[in-house]
Structure 1
Amino acid sequence: MQAPAPKSAGPKIPGPKILGIVNITSDSFSDGGKFLAPEAAIAHARTLVSEGADIVDLGPASSNPDAAPVSAAEEIRRLAPVLDALLADGVEISIDSYLPETQAYALARGVPWLNDIRGFPDPAFYPALAASSARLVVMYSIQQGQADRRESPPGDIVEHICRFFGDRLSALEAAGIDRARIVLDPGMGFFLGPRPETSFGVLGRLGEIRGRFGLPLLVSVSRKSFLRAVTGRATGEAGAATLAAELIAAMKGADFIRTHEPAPLRDALAVAAALKGRS
């Protein structure tokens, strides 16, 4: 018997939309292996929706630079049964993969979001992107496909981020991809380098990045190393630090927040919205 579609956590509230993270992996830094089995991933995704996630972000491979590589065939094998169940539920899905073969599979299944930590670097895939209607999350990272690159570039990191976004937007738009479909992710944690102050600096300047391009921003700070570094907390103990950083992101203009724990974020956004309504 098919499980009932998950119920929402309650009325929609003003503020950023929430992406709930499901890592269908064996080696994710935050929960590696917990949701590798399809039934575990499906159940967790349904829980995230019930806790307030507007979108479920499925990651079939870890983005940790020390993780083992995963082929497109294996990514698709991991995704297929989870997608079957969640699409049948009517859940809005994002696929977190930089492999064009996996992205093509997702588009063929009608997935409405692609989330690429390399920011869609392959021009050969642009015609397929242009022919689709999917929203595209273009992320900045210092790695740019080189897993062994760990240090931030010299100079102002926000300038590096904005230069990357400007170049990539030009390339995507030249290929016929509507700018209105694009969401920008400035990266956080090891995507910006090993020093916590780099990520905090970008977090504090989100409004500047958003203002430059006039496009929505997605921010993902959940349980990340820069928060653990300043609090001394382990990954599983980083919930309070995560929530604080997520609220700052919302205050700075983030339109989407990607998180492991939608419930506390949803409640915090509800409180912020209530206070705003009385100010």
Structure 2
Amino acid sequence: MSKLAKLLQRPEPLVMGILNTTPDSFSDGGQFVDKASAEARVKSMIEAGAEIIDIGGESTRPGATEVSVQQELDRVLPMIECAKQNDAIVSVDTSKAEVMQEALKLEVDLINDVRSFTAPGALKVVSSSDVHICIMHMQGEPRTMQQNPQYDNVVTEVQEALIKRIAECEEKGISKNRIIIDPGFGFGKTLEHNCQLMKQLESFRIIDCPLLVGVSRKTMIGQILDKDIAERGLGSVVAATYAALNGAKILRVHDVEETVQAMRIINAFQ
């Protein structure tokens, strides 16, 4: 059993620290583009209690510029090596089959794909490995997803889409115990949609896969609190705590230390 599989069996949620090695990510774009600052960020998140480091080399915010395979590889591979050297569980946030392939050579633990492995070759790459995968719901494409998202019933439709994609993964030989699900907060969803998903988060237990929730510093937090990105830390920790109390197994966050402290408090009370 892999280290990640063992951790997923414990009752407490896992904290996943975000490392964006990009110049244009919505929250921390440009902060960790050089190797020294990125390495320092990895080490500080691990010291703060992050058990998973999620490394991304291409922004998926609306309107973000696409990057080439080589650009993405140049950004993420050194950081994978750094995180592995620091004994972290490593996740790679990518949709490109070529990046997945190279990441697997470095023995990453998780591939986190906002496009749910629909890009050419992506599903084939992960099906031939034993890596964990995270499939996320998104309506539309990252660069246009927020233009006019619409649902009749957002909770039901997201659940049905995830169940269908799980079945498609299983058909390609990926066992369900390797699959993590993400409702995709902010990916083709309005504030109302996001709030409905959060209110009914526990209903995702019916899918019987570990649930990843990522709302850290997102627009939904800013809309609720009327705060700019730099002022969304407290709201993000509260939202992560609510998610943890309602079934989230992995919390994808920027504010690692604060989220870890929040988890320790609720674990003590439970």
Which TM-score band applies after superposition, normalised by the shorter structure? Answer: over 0.9
Within a 5 Å distance, the mapping from 1:132-211 to structure 2 comes to 132-143=129-140, 145=141, 147-150=143-146, 151-189=148-186, 191-193=187-189, 195-211=190-206
**Could you tell me which residue of structure 2 aligns to residue 39 of structure 1?**
36
Q: Over aligned residues, Cα RMSD in angstroms?
A: 1.5
Q: Any idea what SS the aligned residue of 1:81 has? A: helix
Determine the C-alpha separation between the residues in 1 that align with 2:214 and 2:267: 21
Determine the C-alpha separation between the residues in 2 that align with 1:42 and 1:146: 27
Deviations 1:34-54 (A, max 9, x none): 001111111101100111100
Q: Any idea what SS the aligned residue of 1:18 has? A: strand
Q: Any idea what SS the aligned residue of 1:82 has? A: helix
Q: Which amino acid aligns with 2:54?
A: D
Residue 76, structure 1, aligned to residue 76, structure 2: no
Q: Any idea what SS the aligned residue of 1:78 has? A: helix
Deviations 1:159-183 (A, max 9, x none): 2211211221111100101110000
Determine the C-alpha separation between the residues in 2 that align with 1:268 and 1:75: 33
Deviation at 1:153, TM superposition (A): 2.4
Q: Any idea what SS the aligned residue of 1:26 has? A: coil
Deviations 1:90-121 (A, max 9, x none): 22110001111111111121111100001111
Shift in CA distance, 242/173, structure 1 to aligned 2, threshold 3 Å = same
Deviations 1:170-201 (A, max 9, x none): 11100101110000000112x042x3121111
Shift in CA distance, 17/25, structure 1 to aligned 2, threshold 3 Å = same
Determine the C-alpha separation between the residues in 2 that align with 1:156 and 1:121: 24
Q: Any idea what SS the aligned residue of 1:137 has? A: strand
Deviation at 1:123, TM superposition (A): 6.6
Shift in CA distance, 233/121, structure 1 to aligned 2, threshold 3 Å = same
Identity of aligned residues (%): 29
Determine the C-alpha separation between the residues in 1 that align with 2:56 and 2:254: 12
Could you list the runs of 5+ residues in structure 1 that have no partner in the other structure? Answer: 1-12
**Could you tell me which residue of structure 2 aligns to residue 3 of structure 1?**
none
Deviation at 1:83, TM superposition (A): 2.0
TM-score by length of 2: 0.92
Residue 222, structure 1, aligned to residue 216, structure 2: yes
Within a 5 Å distance, the mapping from 1:1-279 to structure 2 comes to 15-122=12-119, 124-143=121-140, 145=141, 147-150=143-146, 151-189=148-186, 191-193=187-189, 195-211=190-206, 213-276=207-270
Contact (CA 8 Å) 1:61, 1:70: kept in 2 or not? yes
Deviations 1:212-242 (A, max 9, x none): x111100001001011011111101101111
Shift in CA distance, 186/64, structure 1 to aligned 2, threshold 3 Å = same
Determine the C-alpha separation between the residues in 2 that align with 1:165 and 1:14: 23
Contact (CA 8 Å) 2:111, 2:132: kept in 1 or not? yes
Shift in CA distance, 125/59, structure 1 to aligned 2, threshold 3 Å = closer
Contact (CA 8 Å) 1:28, 1:62: kept in 2 or not? yes
The structure that has the greater radius of gyration is: 1
Could you list the runs of 5+ residues in structure 2 that have no partner in the other structure? Answer: 1-9
Contact (CA 8 Å) 1:97, 1:116: kept in 2 or not? yes
